[in-house]
Amino acid sequence: MAQFIRSSVSATFLLLVLLAVEMGPTTVEGRKCESPSHKFKGMCMNRDNCATVCQTEGYEDGKCEGFR
């Protein structure tokens, strides 16, 4: 009987450790500027410039495509 209890406690402990590892910290990505910018004008030549304009509009990052 003592062997069964020890095995049950070990199995429960192992299950809890596995659950804790699965539910570990998660990362959250910032919002990306996917809609057309209201402030960016001209040709998209520099990704950093686009990202900077998106940041002034409240986004973490952004990308531009084509001409606006």
In a domain, 7, yes or no: no
The residues that bridge with 62 in the sheet, in sequence order, are: 33
DSSP letters for 14-61: HHHHHHHHHT-----PPPEE-SPPSS--SB---HHHHHHHHHHTT-SE
Q: How confident is the model at residue 60 (pLDDT cuts 50, 70, 90)?
A: confident
Rounded mean pLDDT, 7-33: 75
Rounded mean pLDDT, 31-52: 70
Q: How confident is the model at residue 25 (pLDDT cuts 50, 70, 90)?
A: low
Rounded mean pLDDT, 24-50: 67
In a domain, 6, yes or no: no
Residue 34: CB atoms within 10 A of its CB come to 9
Write out the residue range of the structural domain in which residue 46 sits: 32-68
CATH number at residue 36: 3.30.30.10
Q: How confident is the model at residue 10 (pLDDT cuts 50, 70, 90)?
A: very high
In angstroms, the CA 63 to CA 32 distance is 8
